[in-house]
Amino acid sequence: MNLLEALKQMTVVVADTGDIESIARYTPRDATTNPSLIYAAAQMPQYAKLLNDAIAFAEAETKDKSQRVQACLDKLSVNFGLEILKIVPKRVSTEVDARLSFDTEGTIRKGRRLIGLYEAAGIKRDRILIKTASTWEGIKAGEQLEQEGIHCNLTLLFGFGQAIACAEAKVTLISPFVGRILDWYKKDTGKDYQGAEDPGVQSVTKIYNYYKKFGHKTEVMGASFRNTGEITELAGCDLLTISPNLLAELQAKEGTLTRKLDPAKAQSMDIPKIDMNEKTFRWMLNEETMATEKLSEGIRKFSADLVKLEKYVAQRMHDSGV
């Protein structure tokens, strides 16, 4: 048995890519996308038809040129999701515009919009996760969308307070960014971290144990890995979303895995419960320098990649005479 097969026996494996061919190769249950991944995939010749379809959709939907670009971006994200859903048996995550990260109502509107496009294509909403940043505003938007039957994946999650707020909002899933946490600590301390000492691994382990201790239904999906060691240290996590290069490494290595995260063990742990509200959330985030910096940086990076995608789409629309 290879390590990927062994991991699948205790954790749901999710492909972290917009490259549909890679998803087909590694047979994950779910898949996630984001503006960075869509930007890269949109430039691949094999996916030109998805962009062309989105351009035609935007042209038919509105005469306003600025609105056409947004309509094209929405449909392009959904088009990639539709292709992915032909391969994965369960769910795909589609991200809301990162520039709405501090806009609860704007995020809710965009979430409804994306779900509407999926439903118009015949996809039931239980196969879609709407991704939004784990800001207070994003979490509140996720709470409202969940009440409407629109399931959410709260991303850019770095702090413990963010995780607790997401669980109390009853969102479907969270994506703690393991590798980006490691990046911050390596830069801050000048140290290298391996195995269970990895700060990203420790963060996800702490969140997982808290959720299982207090019976929270929100799923934990570790994300943004830098190496396979981080992945194997989180064997047993609800889900792990993994890039194609790391999936290939796991698939190429024979061996067995020890389950590191276990709900039964978590329930017997002595863990204090934290009551969450907006003041507590903001204070806990403020006290975690790493979480504050990485959340802001992540929003900026996703926003920058979205601007790149907008410019690329606008140029392609112009070249098409739209």
Q: What is the pLDDT of residue 321?
A: 81
**pLDDT tens profile 181-190:** 999 999 999 9
Q: What is the pLDDT of residue 18?
A: 84
Q: How confident is the model at residue 65 (pLDDT cuts 50, 70, 90)?
A: confident
**DSSP string of 41-99, one letter each residue:** HHTSGGGHHHHHHHHHHHHHH-S-HHHHHHHHHHHHHHHHHHHHHTTSSS-EEEEPPGG
What value, to the nearest 5°, has the Cα angle with vertex 93 and ends 317 and 33? 55
Q: What is the pLDDT of residue 37?
A: 86
Q: What is the pLDDT of residue 123?
A: 98
The count of residues in the chain is 322
C-alpha span between 309 and 286 (Å, rounded)? 32
Residue 170 among the catalytic residues: no
CB 165 within 8 A of CB 133: no
> For 141-151, what is the mean pLDDT?
98
Q: How confident is the model at residue 168 (pLDDT cuts 50, 70, 90)?
A: very high
Which CATH architecture fits 3-319? Answer: Alpha-Beta Barrel (3.20)
Q: How confident is the model at residue 33 (pLDDT cuts 50, 70, 90)?
A: confident
Q: How confident is the model at residue 66 (pLDDT cuts 50, 70, 90)?
A: confident
pTM of the model: 0.94
Q: Which of 8, 75, 131, 213 is catalytic?
A: 131
DSSP conformational letter for 17: -
> Burial, 141: exposed, middle or buried (Cβ in 10 Å; 0-12, 13-18, 19+)?
buried
Q: What is the pLDDT of residue 305?
A: 92
> For 185-210, what is the mean pLDDT?
97
**pLDDT tens profile 268-322:** 999 999 999 999 999 999 999 999 999 999 999 999 999 999 999 999 988 888 7
Share of the chain above pLDDT 90, in %: 90
Q: What is the pLDDT of residue 124?
A: 97
Please report, as a single letter, which amino acid is at residue 98.
A
**pLDDT tens profile 73-122:** 999 999 999 999 999 999 999 999 999 999 999 999 999 999 999 999 99
Q: pLDDT averaged over the chain?
A: 95
